[in-house]
Amino acid sequence: MRILTTFVSFTLVAVLSGCGSVVIQADPDGGGATDAPPATDRPSLGDTPLPPVDRPPAVDVPSTCTTTADCRPGLECLGGEGCSIPWTCQPALGRPCTDDFSPFCGCNGMTFFGSSSCPSQPYRYRGPCDEPPPPVDAGPPPRTCRGNVDCPAGAMCAGPEGCGIPWTCQPSQPCTRDLATYCACDGSTFMASSTCPGRPYLRRGQCGIVPPPPDAGPGTCVISGVTCRVGVPCRIDPCTTCTCSGEGGDCASEPGCEMDAGAPDGGGGGSPPICVRQDARGVGACAAFFGYAWDGTGCVGIGGCACAGADCRSLYRDPMACELAHRLCPRPI
């Protein structure tokens, strides 16, 4: 029985050796059968196909158009107002369109009609081409103000000199850090930056002081330091009124005036007493301040270590009081 079993085993080995897929061969150089790598049915690494490369999808660039007829079915010619940006074929996406017909000025200079909400081709502006385009909406009008407190952050109250034009809130601008005097529209005097008053004002300077007349050009003449217009009565002092005529002036004094200065040409006694220069001056380089004095042309401050002169006790405490007392005195140009 053992002999039969051994015979069957050798027979199976011989059959498998002839029909199997794996064959062991001896090394032609003399090596043993165990030195050769086994042969398999799998392909080599060099024959393995590479995985496909992911490529970005092609971008569908919209085509330009002049009317919806230039587009494929399902697309419409869409764009904004103006001819600088071309219109393109885009999906309508069920946008609602009115059934009216409104005129549009086309980019070719011809007027066409279409739905007011869905024009069918590019256009310059709404309306016929033979009429001017409608004005551009600049937004709400600027806010009027009476001071910087009426304006939002980042804005300031600004406007022209005078009280006839309302001031408005405008973007803030750099302002100088000095202090200038202004006469407000309510008759009060205030001080603010010379470039940014911050509130409407009648004119520069204090309200109680009459400003010197501006140079009116060739139609004027100067009488005792006062510029007067030709043909218009001009008061050069509290008691004298003159009228320019050519290069000179015809003057008349009010009878019985306590400050009668006579004719301004020198025949009546000169300037009124209040217009005479005050005798006061500061001595030394100290910080003491004594008041304001009239120097014959305007009011000046007197300061120093001491005040010298006969009128040191008659100085004015503030410039407004000094100017008001001499508001009718002649002033040089």
CA dist 148 and 173 (Å) reads 12
CB-based burial label for 32 (10 Å; 0-12, 13-18, 19+): exposed
CA dist 118 and 101 (Å) reads 10
Q: Say if residues 199 and 227 touch (Cβ distance below 8 Å).
A: no
pLDDT digits (tens, 9 = 90+) for 49-64: 666 666 655 545 678 8
Q: Say if residues 170 and 142 touch (Cβ distance below 8 Å).
A: yes
**Cα dihedral across residues 32, 36, 38, 39: positive or negative:** negative
- How many degrees, rounded to 5, is the angle at CA 117 between CA 107 and CA 132? 45
Local structure of residue 307 (DSSP, 8 states): E
CB-based burial label for 262 (10 Å; 0-12, 13-18, 19+): middle
| For the chain, domain boundaries | 64-126, 144-204, 220-269, 276-325
Q: Say if residues 230 and 220 touch (Cβ distance below 8 Å).
A: yes
Q: Say if residues 272 and 237 touch (Cβ distance below 8 Å).
A: yes
pTM, whole model, 2 decimals? 0.29
pLDDT at residue 105, as a whole number? 93
* Average pLDDT estimate for 225-252: 73
What are the CA-CA distances from residue 295 to residues 105, 129, 181 (Å)? 73, 71, 21
pLDDT at residue 12, as a whole number? 47
Ranking 43-47, 93-97, 121-125 by mean pLDDT, the lowest is: 43-47
Q: Say if residues 306 and 283 touch (Cβ distance below 8 Å).
A: yes
What are the CA-CA distances from residue 220 to residues 147, 183, 230, 265, 297 (Å)? 38, 27, 5, 17, 20
pLDDT digits (tens, 9 = 90+) for 198-237: 999 988 888 876 555 555 455 777 777 677 777 777 777 6
238 versus 34: which is more confidently predicted?
238
CA dist 221 and 233 (Å) reads 12
Confidence of residue 18 (pLDDT cuts 50, 70, 90): very low
